[in-house]
Amino acid sequence: MKNLYELTSDYIQLYEMLEAGAETPEDEAAILAAIEETGANLADKADAYARIIKNLSAEAEALKAEEKRLSSRRKVCENGVERLKANMLLTMQTLGAEKLKTSIGTWAVQKNPWSCDVTDVSKVPARFLIEQPPTVDKKAILAAFKETGEVFDGVDIRQSEGVRFR
C-alpha cells in the first residue's frame, strides 16, 4: 500500500496526464484506470488516517480528564497541608512556643520575608513605577477588520486553512 506522499505524487502525475490529453482510446483507458486505483488507495488511506485521528483524540481527551482529576487531587492535598500548618502555627502562637521537638522533627515559628501589597497605584511615587510598552489588542483589530474590511499599516491579516474530519 502506498503512503500519502506517494499518492500525492500519483495525483500530480495524473493531473499532468490529463493536461496533456489522451491521444488514443488506450491512453484514455489507462488514465481512467489510474484515477480509479489512486482514488481507492486514497480513500483507504483517508479512512486509516480518520481512525488514527479519532483514537488519538479519544486518548488525548482521556488524558486531559485524568490531568484534571490529578490536579484536583493535588490541590486537595496542598490545601490540607496549608490548613494543618495554619492550625499548628495558631496553636504554637497561642501557647507562645517558638520551637517544638517531636520524634520525627522540630516545629519552629519563623518570620517570613517582607511582602508588599499596593492598594492604590495613583499614590505610589513615580520612581517606583515601571514603564510598560504598549500592548496591541489583536481581538479589537480583527473585529474592526471584520466590520469595515480596513487593514492598518503594520498589521497583517491572514486566514490559514486546516483539515477537519467529521
Q: Domain span at residue 37?
A: 4-112
Query: How would you class 130 by CB atoms within 10 Å of its CB: exposed for 0-12, middle for 13-18, buried for 19 or more?
Result: exposed
Can you tell me the mean pLDDT for 141-164?
Answer: 88
Summary count for the chain: helices (H), strands (E): 3, 2
93 Rama class: left (phi>0) / alpha (psi -120 to 50) / beta: alpha
Classify strands 106-108 and 99-101 as parallel, antiparallel or unpaired: antiparallel
Whether residue 134 is contained in a domain is answered as: no
Least Cα distance to 99 among 107, 87, 110 occurs for 107
Q: What angle do CA 131, 136, 141 make, to 5 degrees?
A: 160
User: Per mean pLDDT, which range of 31-40, 57-66, 67-76, 114-123 is the poorest?
Assistant: 31-40
Number of domains in the chain: 1
Dmax over CA atoms of the chain, in Å, equals: 104
pLDDT score of 79:
97
Give φ, ψ of 102 to 5 degrees: -125, 180
pLDDT score of 41:
66
Whether residue 129 is contained in a domain is answered as: no
Whether residue 25 is contained in a domain is answered as: yes
Of these ranges, 9-13, 25-29, 55-59, 102-106, the one predicted with the greatest mean pLDDT is 102-106
Can you tell me the mean pLDDT for 27-50?
Answer: 71
Whether residue 155 is contained in a domain is answered as: no
